[in-house]
Amino acid sequence: ASDVYKRQYKYVSSGLIAGFCQTIVETPAEVAKIQLMTGKTINTTIIRSSFNGFRWNALRNSLFCATICLSNNYYQPDDKFLKFIVNGTSAFMACVLTQPIDFMKTKYQINDNSFELSVFKAIKEYKLKMFSGSLARAYVGAITPTDI
């Protein structure tokens, strides 16, 4: 049983690290995308505004990547179609479960760093709206090749 936990720990850890590294590269592009979509620019320094919402993005990416790494490496059926179904399902679920975090990330990226919104306040205020867009995101996650 100890070997099983070591393998799981290795997969989850590698996913968390990969998600964090992805966030370092991705966050400035995410901020630019949000600013182009909303027409809003953040009135802070370029470096600071480029990493607006970094914590939420890192949390989302790390949890997503940890789920994918665990799924792709822990259960490896020989049947390619079954592997596609298992990995696609885990990606779909990871997208849905991390959607509220994505919502929070977007809220922070739309506003400057002085904007503080607690998770509990957001849940109370936005409720199911936090899941808007989750099915589209989950669909793309499920059909994207995730064979790491």
pLDDT at residue 148, rounded to an integer? 43
Whole-model pTM? 0.72
Residue 54's nearest CA partner among 104, 121, 98 is 104
How many Cβ atoms sit within 10 Å of the Cβ of residue 111?
A: 17
Q: What percent of the chain has pLDDT over 70?
A: 84
pLDDT at residue 116, rounded to an integer? 62
Helix (H) or strand (E) holding 4: helix 2-38
pLDDT at residue 62, rounded to an integer? 92
Pull the structure tokens for residue 92: 């779909």
C-alpha to C-alpha distance for 77 and 129, rounded to whole angstroms: 37
C-alpha to C-alpha distance for 31 and 37, rounded to whole angstroms: 10
Model pLDDT for residues 55-107, shown as the tens digit of each residue: 888 988 899 889 888 887 777 778 888 888 888 888 888 888 888 888 888 87
Residue of 148 and 65 predicted with greater confidence? 65
